[in-house]
Chain A
Amino acid sequence: MTVRRKSATLHLSVLAALVALFFILPPYHSGNLSRIMVLAIYAMGFNILFGYTGLLSLGHAMFFAAGMYGFGLSINLGGAPLPVAFLIGMASATALAAVTGFLALRTTGVAFMIVTLMFAQTAYLVVLYFGSYTRGDEGFVIQSAERMIFGIDLTTEGARYVTALLLFSACFLALARVIGSPFGRTLVAIRENEERARMLGYDTGVHKLKAMILSGLISGIAGAAYAMLFGYVGATFATVQYSIFPLLWVLLGGAGTTIGPLLGVFFMFYLIDFSSSVTTAYMLVAGVVLVLLTMFAPQGLMGEMRKRVFPWLP
């Protein structure tokens, strides 16, 4: 099989497994899986920039939150229909990513991390400042009656799972395609050796900005989807913690792999789920496992797989 064939098979198998799991799993776990898929979209958005382009942003929560608030506020304040609100969420995140990228990409390395972190802090403070609209830390609920699309009630377990799966699949397949395209390969070249890529005639600045915008858009889709499926919008999602989460997920699952983000979120979600059922010190368990993983599998789960078994992994 060619590499292209193999990766197509892999991606479709992952999606088939997610479909099958819905029928196999008890409701508690399929509910978890809906959440995992939405968060995996966020992780995939982050992975475009971090895993493939080699840019570490510590401010991605602002894009997640932009999608979330763009969606939530246009429903609660603007009375927009759900699909329109979703598009507004996507547009908000994209616009924010374009502006942030334009300014932050003048820096690299640690400076880029700090600048993105500062932008995200500003976004968080903006959410709090306009508390009369956003309801600040407390957040707001999107009424069940609003969460209907084409007569389908998104608050039911089945509809939620299917919607999460459809959105996940769309992002997953689209990103797999982008990664295999000349554009995606150029992002990898920039990650590996930016100066060389530039001296091969690539406009690395434009490529990085496009990667940032794509990354912000995908993160925004995740934010809007989260609000749509779980009905809550709050400032917690704009905090630093939510900028660090995708980094952990992607590191765990394997940065620069297409299925790493999903695995990372899955692993982390169930690690916390399981350890908190055993002990109240569950964050300690999570921390120890993270330390062990970074010591023994520094390239993440899929990164190790690529290194040891499947060198063709996209």
Chain B
Amino acid sequence: MAAINILETKGLTKVYGGVTANSDVDFTLPTGKITALIGPNGAGKSTFVGMVSGRTEATRGQVIFAGRDISALPAHKRIQLGIAYTFQITSIFPRLTVHENVAIAARRLFGKKPAILASKITAALGKVDIADRADQIAGDLSYGHKRLLEIAMGLVQEPRVFILDEPTQGLAESEVAGFIALIKSLAGETTILLIEHNMTVVMGAADWITVLDQGMVLANGTPEEISENTAVQAAYLGKTDA
């Protein structure tokens, strides 16, 4: 039976010089669910997922993935274990084709089996609905399509945990609706950790929400609980007397 929580952090802390970006974050990511990590600007969301994925070195604390302490592993080893990561600022291979972008992501797993590789790439491109653009140069895609390409690059790795850092940032309203549907369709196949500002997305897609504020966990709960939580409202609206 799968563990209840595929990923946990204990006391995860990051100090930059004298600034504490995250302090003692204890976090759990329930298996197979969509969890949103929200919080005002500067709450330390990106630093936190950076430490989870291994991009950012933690000052102290533990990251436990599928029961294994991965705190000491470099980023590429964590990703090999099944953690996929999409960047907050779109990061693709702009001079290569859309197909090749996804192929690079897929080859690490399926590089030795060309037939499977090809079908996995086609499936991933189809899933995000950009299969008709496979031969385009990735840098020529519209912003929205680049974001979809990043998601295809994540999906093709068949990750156990898929971290999406502000995936709807800069998307048009119409694209956001499509995005929510896409994310929801992935639930069950993988566990999703969504870092998101857009409350429509959070409330529409997430099963569970963790709120960070000033580098600390402020609250955990279902979307309903969070939207009624006065401390969360205070953090977002800047009230101090809540």
Contacts and interface: CB of A to CB of B under 8 A. Distances in A.
Contact of B93 (A192, A198, A203): A192
B229 interface: no
A192 B157 contact: no
Contact of B87 (A186, A189, A192, A196): A196
Contacts of A200: 79, 104-105, 108, 153, 157
Contacts of A195: 91
Given A197-B104, A200-B153, A188 B80 contact: no
A202 interface: yes
A196 B93 contact: yes
Smallest CB-CB A-B distances: 5 pairs:
A201-B79, A182-B111, A192-B93, A189-B104, A196-B91
A186 B95 contact: no
B91 A193 contact: yes
Contacts of B75: 198-199
B79 A199 contact: yes
A185 B107 contact: yes
A198 B78 CA distance: 11
Interface residues of B, number: 26
Interface string B59-100: 000000000000000111101100001010001111110001
Interface in A186-242: 186, 188-189, 192-193, 195-204
A200 B55 CA distance: 12
Contacts of A198: 75-76
Interface of B: 53, 55, 74-77, 79-80, 85, 87, 91-96, 100, 103-105, 107-108, 111-112, 153, 157
B92 A196 contact: yes
B80 A201 contact: yes
B171 to A, nearest CB: 20
A307 B222 CA distance: 52
B156 to A, nearest CB: 10
19 contacts: A182-B112, A186-B107, A188-B96, A189-B104, A192-B94, A192-B95, A192-B96, A193-B91, A193-B94, A196-B92, A196-B93, A197-B104, A199-B87, A200-B108, A200-B153, A200-B157, A201-B79, A201-B108, A203-B74
A200 B53 CA distance: 11
A199 B80 contact: no
Nearest to B79: A201
Contacts of A185: 100, 103-104, 107
B113 to A, nearest CB: 11
A117 B92 CA distance: 32
A153 B74 CA distance: 54
Contacts of A188: 96
Contacts of B153: 200
Contacts of B92: 193, 196
Interface in A153-185: 182, 185
Contacts of B103: 185
B87 to A, nearest CB: 7
Nearest to B96: A192
Contact of B107 (A182, A199, A203, A204): A182
A81 B142 CA distance: 62
Contact of B76 (A182, A192, A193, A202): A202
A303 to B, nearest CB: 11
B100 to A, nearest CB: 8
Contacts of A186: 104, 107
Contact of B108 (A192, A193, A196, A202): A202
A202 B112 CA distance: 15
A192 B95 CA distance: 7
B93 A199 contact: no
B76 A203 contact: yes
A195 B92 CA distance: 10
B157 A201 contact: yes
Given A185-B104, A193-B91, A199 B96 contact: no
